[in-house]
Structure 1
Amino acid sequence: MAATTAPPASRTPGKDAPRRRRRGNAAYVFLTPWMIGAAVLTVIPMLVSLYLSFTDYNLFDAPHWLGLQNYRRLLFDDPQFRESVWVTLKYVVVSTPVKLVLALAVALLLNTRRRGRNFYRAAFYMPSLIGASVGAAIVWRILFSSGSVIDQLTSAFGLHTGGWVGNPDWALMVVVALSVWQFGAPMVIFLAGLQQIPPDLYEAASMDGAGPWRRFRSVTVPMLSPVIFFNLVLEMIHAFQVFNSAFIVSNGNGGPAGSTFVYSMYVYELGFTDYRMGYASAMTWILVVVVGVITGVLFKTSGRWVHYSGEVK
């Protein structure tokens, strides 16, 4: 007699529904503190600032509705706004790629099994723990002032700046250098990405006669492109928000000759010095839109150069 196999027990459609419902309720309970914090600290202030951007508000009197007047004045009648945009764009265009290139270069050097690698990884990451702190910016300002060690060193090589922080042509480079010095966070992300690249790919490329540069171009960069994209977006957004370092290096006035007067410093001056909170809110929302558009363009064009594992192009 042929053995018969019993059919699998059918699952009742609604049998697991109570269990899933209980798990969903538990998830919402744990998420509730985060959702309350996000609403109170982020969503509601954003909506209030959006409303204030259409008003004349000085922190003391009731807001007075102006419509689009703040935006029209910023875009067409405020030369200081255009100057702060130009300074910020220069900072973003210079600091972001230099910081990422340096972070990737150091990550490549540290992606080895050499002795003491953990010490060097910690040492290179250390400046990122400081962040854009006031103390670091003050030290940076002293290091690049007139007569400092760095000023004397650059003068010995024929670069006479008369003090970087006091020279309009070089003051912004001090802020850029401070940002680039803190490359530890993208370096760690690059290092994690490098460790996920299969060694077999490098071995196959070597067997085909590829040298170090060819392996870097044909293996490392394509395999690391999602990480490069991630770091590019994050560092670009952070660069547009620069404030502390520029404020301290310029001694709070954006000098010399407005060379370090970045966008966030103008927002701060309008909102907390001139008490033109509505005008400052309009500036903030212009920055939000611009950063959103640039981020959207990066995501739109990422399909041409970002390669994900297992993806068919």
Structure 2
Amino acid sequence: MHTLKRFVQNNWVGYLFITPWLVGLIGLSAFPMGFSLYLAFTSYDLFSAPKWIGLGNFIEMFHDPKYTGSVGVTLHYVLIAVPLSLLFALAVALLLNKGIRGLRIYRAIYYVPSLFGGSVAVALLWRQLFGGEGLLNSLLHLLGIEGMNWIATPGTALYTLILLSTWQFGSAMVIFLAGLKQIPHDLYESARIDGAGTWKQFANITLPLLTPILFFNLVMQIIHAFQAFTPAFIVSGGTGGPLNSTLFYTLYLYQKGFAQFQMGYAAAMAWMLLCTIAFVTSLLFATSRTWVYYQE
């Protein structure tokens, strides 16, 4: 007891300074998360008291065709959009690393789309671009090609969103470029003396030393892709159409929680998403030992 009293006397000033942070942590993070976890096991519609139903929401998920469909759409999006974004980001970073003139200008130009990643304006622009009378179809018409309403066709709607995600590769590109700047030039000079060509230098020097950066970008891009919402909401008008081809997991969560007022079900979906992201991230960290190379 004496030790505890002494500890408080010696540290009360520090606790006083971090009080605003503690209030924010408890009031804006810890309590809402705990309450949402409780709601995940209840039936709650905002207008009546939560009713405890145990695992009812989680059981209902796997009997809900729209839920399983949203999982499939989201996985499809993640498995294509993330590799394409990283590929373009790395390719552009390699080009910009050649010491060309106006490097800062080019870097800014490629980075600008990432600044508007989740903006409504860009999603609206994308909707106009790939609509039935959009710019893309106008260009195709000049070439004598009959276009289509790309965002209203089930086979192409999702790929327009994948293209949007790929176009916004700027943040990953900047991080790749920073990593390339840290690779010692002596290694390339030694490789050239030994007769190694450009491809061998990339495969044996650049890529291995860049794997920590690649790992970081991969984790961040996967998390971001699983949470994608605004493009699908704006392009599909909030419906996830056509024929649920753009019904992202987060969009269906929104529909359940804020359109149908099934807050318990939506909370359960949110926790399933959190667990999925945590599992995928843990899996990446576990497998990183086999392919991520640290110079030391």
Residue of 103, 106, 122 corresponding to 2:89: 103
Q: What is the match of residue 9 of structure 1?
A: none
Residues 169-192 of structure 1: CA distance to partner in whole angstroms, max 9, x if unpaired? 000111111111111111111111
Instruction: Tell whether 2:134 aligns with 1:142.
Output: no
Aligned-residue Cα RMSD (Å) equals 2.0
Superimposed CA distance per residue, residues 112-169 of structure 1 (whole angstroms, 9 cap, x where no aligned partner): 3221111111111111111210011000110011132213445777986512111110
> Any gaps of 5 or more consecutive residues in structure 1?
1-17
What SS is found at the alignment partner of 1:60? coil
State the match for 1:61 in structure 2: 48
SS of the residue aligned with 2:217?
helix
Residue pair 1:229, 1:306 contacting (<8 A) in 2 also: yes
Alignment TM-score, normalising by the size of structure 2: 0.92
Work out the CA distance in 1 between the residues paired with 2:28 and 2:239.
30
Separation in structure 2 between the aligned mates of residue 168 and residue 158 of structure 1, nearest angstrom: 24
Aligned to 1:92: 78
Q: Work out whether 1:238 is the aligned partner of 2:235.
A: no
SS in 1 for 2:31: helix
SS across alignment from 2:196: coil
The answer to whether the 8 A contact 2:128-2:135 is kept is no
The corresponding residue for 2:3 is none
* Counterpart amino acid of residue 173 in structure 1: Y
1:38-68 superposed Cα distances (whole Å, 9 cap, x missing partner): 3222221111100000000011111000000
- Does 2:266 align with 1:275? no
Q: TM-score, normalised by structure 1?
A: 0.87
- Structure 1 residue 36 corresponds to structure 2 residue 23: yes
Letter in 2 for 1:252: G
The answer for the alignment partner of 2:57 in structure 1 is: 70
Mapped contact 1:222–1:306 kept (Cα < 8 A): yes
Alignment of 1:187-266 (within 5 A): 187-266=173-252
Flag the 1:214–1:35 CA change in 2: closer, same or farther, 3 A: farther
2:152 corresponds to which residue?
Answer: 166
Higher mean C-alpha displacement, 49-58 vs 33-42: 33-42
Q: Mark the CA change 1:27 to 1:188 in structure 2 (over 3 Å): closer, same or farther.
A: farther
